[in-house]
Amino acid sequence: MPSLRNLFQANRYPGRSVVWARTLDGAMCGGYLLTGRSQASRERALRVSDQELIVGPTGPAANDPLRHYVAAMQRDGWLVFGNGEQVSTVADRLLEGQPAAVALDGLDYEPDPPIFTPRITVIVDVSSPADAWFGAALRSLGDRTSTNVLTLSVRDLAPGDAVLMTTYVSDGHRIVTGEPFLEGLTTAADQGGLLDELWEALDPQFRVAAATFTPHHLADATLRHASQR
């Protein structure tokens, strides 16, 4: 399999990305990455509040639900993370007792023509973090406007294994929606090393912010921002 580094270096502008990996110390780690081309997309930051990872503006910008949202939350034994408001929807469904695959169903892609950005989401049962469910809600590549919904169950990752979804595949100019999922290898020894590996793999022209976290300790997420030196 290719390395995580190579997967991101081959995709100059991945948009937003979710990663689930087992680092070499055996820990399960999630990752959330922001890249941006427009000024508004670049003027964003990640912050942790209680048991939530929030994407917000760096200044007094008006709220934009497609750019500003809760990207991860830990609630009653579940960790959910993704690229938009569906994170809260999925978490609510899980708390109502819906199975993970059902909680990921019925979502829609973003209303942002002409790209129609996919909604990508990861669910982790904190009591059994070796397993995760990935969901993607994508618009058809044809003329059909109904949503294609992909659900992937990932089990028993070995140390060094990683799975990811990106919203886009791009050379920095032409953008298409991302592949349903990719598998890669990480050489990160731990959560901090995974953040370093992911951050260094992103094209400096587009990288905005990134976070890594473990299923039991979202409040202890490690963060990185392009504004940091």
| Torsion over CA: 46, 8, 147, 212 (sign) | negative
Amino acid at 190: D
Amino acid at 91: A
Smallest CA-to-CA distance from 175 within 222, 113, 126 is with 113
- Sorted by where each starts, the structural domains of the chain and their CATH numbers stand as 4-222 (3.60.20.20)
Q: What is the pLDDT of residues 151-179, one digit of tens each?
A: 999 999 999 999 999 999 999 889 999 88
Q: Write the CB contacts of 111 (distance below 8 Å, at least 6 apart in sequence).
A: none
Q: Is 25 helix (H, G, I), strand (E, B) or coil?
A: coil
Query: Which residues make beta-bridge pairs with 21?
Result: 29, 162
* Helix ranges (DSSP H) in the chain: 4-9, 39-42, 86-95, 100-103, 191-201
Is the predicted pLDDT of residue 142 greater than 70, yes or no?
A: yes
Q: What is the pLDDT of residues 82-122, one digit of tens each?
A: 999 999 999 999 999 999 999 999 999 999 999 999 999 99
Is the predicted pLDDT of residue 229 greater than 60, yes or no?
A: no
Is the predicted pLDDT of residue 143 greater than 90, yes or no?
A: no
